[in-house]
Structure 1
Amino acid sequence: MHFSSAHIIALYQQASHRIHSGEHVTHLAHAWQCGRLAEKSGASLELQLASWLHDIGHLWAHPGAPVTDAAVKGHAALGSKLLEPLFGLAVSEPVRLHVLAKRYLVSTRPSYARKLSPQSLKSLTHQGGHLSEDECADFERHAFFAEAIQLRVWDDLSQKDGWFEITIQDALDQLEGLMQSVADQCVT
């Protein structure tokens, strides 16, 4: 099956009332919050879209089901694979790297782990835990290192219960408009 923007909207519509990975927000609220933080920070349209869609791998692999520990590890790579043909590397690479960014931040900033939710700390184990010094150095050389780090920070801040300022349909319309804008840039 060919993956499309319509599939993305349908997945987020299905997940609009499902709780995100044991946190206190729905998948749609988490995606909206992350995208909103990117927008407020003046991020590029591509990074805003990556922020919205960083967990699309969870929704594609397990539509209608809660995210399990076994599903945590591969969601970033799956999401990246789905998004690259539609939106290019500027969207897919930060998505692919956002889990590695968490591992990097835990490894390089001792205070970072104290700010993670209990669920995020639990998933860290399934995602590979701390990086070695060599792995950190390799990650720092990646072309999308800075974008992945920024996305990770917004991801961690996007778990606020009650911060969903618009309707579900308005959020989906925002996402659809952003996807169209990024797709238009990819064509030109």
Structure 2
Amino acid sequence: MTRPDALSADTIVPFLAEIFARRGAEEYLGEPVTISEHMRQCAELAEREGAGDELIAAALLHDIGHFTHEFPADAAAQDVDTRHEAAGARVVARFFPTLVTDCVRYHVDAKRYLCATDPDYAAKLSDASVHSLKLQGGPMSDEEVAAFEKTPHLDAILKVRIWDDIGKDPDHAAPAFAHYAPVLRRVVRTHRL
């Protein structure tokens, strides 16, 4: 496997495809779908809503850090926050536009934000998401909310978060990674120009 620091714009999409193929069948932290199925369902939700390529790429890659962080697979069960959002942002930042990177980097903060600002949101979280919320710092404070509301691409980040919460249907098979590879290639190519 290629090291993330040795990747190029020409090798990032094959690298991501290999990760999805090799690790995609792993359990998704107690959710009823695999991590790959979850990420592909999120991308499909973006696609169905008519999102552009960058937002579809962000939805697909928002949890890529689960595959690239340095913690054991059972870290959440050990009450360890893997900071997968930071690990994922490090992988995509060199090759994808800021919107994609921000959606990856801030999708956990978006959950914390929504828990603090929407009284109904927290009640809809899965048990696994409630557990990870505790590890990730819980709902934001008023000061954190005010600061987060100034984040560029906030609307896109919140959309990815909502798809993140929905994309956990064990009875639905989303399109394979190969369906999204052309989208990723277009986004990388456009970003290089």
Q: Shared topology, TM-score over 0.5?
A: yes
What's the counterpart of residue 98 of structure 2?
89
Matched, 1:66 2:73: yes
Instruction: Summarize deviations over 1:108-149 as a string: whole Å, max 9, x none.
Output: 111111100000000001101011111101111111211111
The residue number in structure 1 matching 2:64 is: 56
1:88–1:186 Cα contact (<8 Å) kept:
yes
More helix as a share of residues: 1
Q: Cα deviation per residue 1:149-178 (whole Å; 9 max; x = unaligned)?
A: 110000000010021144xxxx12113211
1:58 and 1:72 in contact (8 A); partners too: no
Q: Superposed, which structure 2 residues align to 1:83-122 within 5 Å?
A: 83-122=92-131
Would you say the 8 A contact 1:73–1:126 is kept in 2? no
2-side partners of 1:78 and 1:59: how far apart?
9
Aligned residue number for residue 190 of structure 2: 185
- Unaligned segments of structure 1, at least 5 residues: none
Aligned runs of 1:1-188 on 2, under 5 Å? 1=3, 2-3=6-7, 4-61=12-69, 66-69=73-76, 72-166=81-175, 171-188=176-193
- Alpha-carbon offset, residue 102 of structure 1: 0.0
Q: TM-score, normalised by structure 2?
A: 0.89
Give the whole-Å Cα distance in 1 for the aligned partners of 2:171 and 2:26: 15
Q: RMSD of the alignment, in Å?
A: 1.7
Displacement over 6 Å in runs of 4+: none
Using the size of structure 1 for normalisation, the TM-score is 0.91
SS in 2 for 1:130: coil
Q: Closer, same or farther in 2 for the Cα pair 1:71/1:180, shift >3 Å?
A: farther
**Structure 1 residues 52-61 or 98-107, which shifts more?**
52-61
Secondary structure at 2:95's aligned position in 1? helix
